[in-house]
Structure 1
Amino acid sequence: MTIANFISFFRLMLSVGVIWGLRAQHFGWVSVMLGVSAVSDFLDGYLARRLGQVTQLGVLLDPLADKILVMAGLIYFAVYREISVWFVLSVFFRDISGLMGVLALGFFKKKAIVSSLMVGKISSGFNLGLIFFLCVNRLYPSLQGVISFFYGGAVIFVVASFCIYSVRWFRLFEGKE
């Protein structure tokens, strides 16, 4: 196992800790785990590229860890009506449509390297930031402006990333990319 894959696996395990922490309402610990997760998300990709250790496992593990972490946080805060269910469903739909695109490419034996785009990384950053500040707001309730900023950015970039990735999937499927 490469160091980058180990870090991605560690982040996947952090998602379990975040789910437990949210359920137990330990928002301080959850905030710390989200911060560590954000750093590890940057670090695993950087190390994989820098050390020439990009692997198929890492390509799957990295986004899986991100999606589990983000969906767990979004679902938690939707249950407590701090964010809307439609937003959580839109993130879920975007992620599922991406998975279906990968599966369709594989099913029709289209050869393509499916890497993440900057718009997807920005979207993940806004989602993670939103969850982080919702947790911190539970400890220090005065962050409505910051939360509104991250919520607005998350909505914009979920829509933008869905549109951009959809165009990309069609181009890949047609063999134009």
Structure 2
Amino acid sequence: MSLRQLPNLISLLRILLVAPVVWSLLQGAYTTALILFLIAGLSDGLDGYLARRYQWITRLGGFLDPLGDKLLVVCGYLTLGWIGALPSWLVGTVIARDGIIVLGTLVYRWLIASVTAQPLLISKLNTGLQIGLVLLVILSLIGWLDQPMLVNGLMYGVFVTTVMSGVSYVALWGYRAWQQWPTRRQT
């Protein structure tokens, strides 16, 4: 194994940490969940830094990195919703947005052409807020944070950016599909 594969191994570690994070949350071991979630979050920064800094960018890494991020966030939201720490309307919004994007990507790829992942600025903001909310909720569950207004405000921030991000992707890729639709090229 070469050092070039190190970012991929770190991404794989993040994917493997998802199950222990979920299990810890379900068992009420919130401090353990927080530590594991922080390790997973730091690993995301580390693998990205190494890949960019040393040009260790691979196709596998381009798949594993976003997969690890999405699994961590989606499973975190589902679990926190399950234990009643996040409202179902927010969990449903986050899951629906990701489902729409995945379905849209598959349909676009099937009908038009392959898709290259291009995260939008609103999507990056949304991901940051989603992760921040998970951290604040876990801190609240531990009892280290007693700021319900801050948590509630961030919930609404996540909701708004989730909807804006989803609408942006649908509009952008819908427009691209309309431009590239095979029958339009013939006219």
Tell whether the structures are fold-level matches, with TM greater than 0.5. Answer: yes
| 1:173 alignment partner in structure 2 | 177
Q: Is the 8 A contact 1:74 1:83 kept in 2?
A: yes
Match of 1:12 among 15, 18, 31: 15
Deviation at 1:161, TM superposition (A): 0.7
Distance 2:79 2:69 in 1: 16
1:43–1:175 CA distance, 2 compared to 1 (3 A): farther
Deviation at 1:137, TM superposition (A): 0.9
Distance 1:105 1:53 in 2: 29
Match of 1:132 among 135, 147, 159: 135
Deviation at 1:162, TM superposition (A): 0.5
Deviation at 1:26, TM superposition (A): 0.9
| Structure 1 unaligned regions, length at least 5 | none
Over the residues paired in the alignment, what is the CA RMSD in angstroms?
Answer: 2.0
Match of 2:39 among 36, 39, 44: 36
Q: What is the SS of the residue equivalent to 2:168?
A: helix
1:119-166 Cα deviation digits (max 9, x unpaired): 222211111111111111112251313312321221111011101111
Distance 1:156 1:114 in 2: 22
Match of 1:98 among 89, 98, 101: 101
Q: What is the SS of the residue equivalent to 2:86?
A: coil
Larger Rg: 2
1:95-130 Cα deviation digits (max 9, x unpaired): 111111221232125144222222222211111111
Q: Is the 8 A contact 1:34 1:128 kept in 2?
A: no
| 1:68 alignment partner in structure 2 | 71
Distance 1:117 1:47 in 2: 22
Q: Is the 8 A contact 1:112 1:172 kept in 2?
A: no
- Verify: 1:143 aligned to 2:143, yes or no: no
| 1:85 alignment partner in structure 2 | 88
| Structure 2 unaligned regions, length at least 5 | 181-187
| 2:48 alignment partner in structure 1 | 45
Q: Number of aligned pairs?
A: 176
Query: TM-score normalised to the size of structure 2?
Result: 0.84
1:175–1:6 CA distance, 2 compared to 1 (3 A): farther
| 1:21 alignment partner in structure 2 | 24
Displaced runs of 4 or more, over 3 A: none
Distance 1:118 1:41 in 2: 18
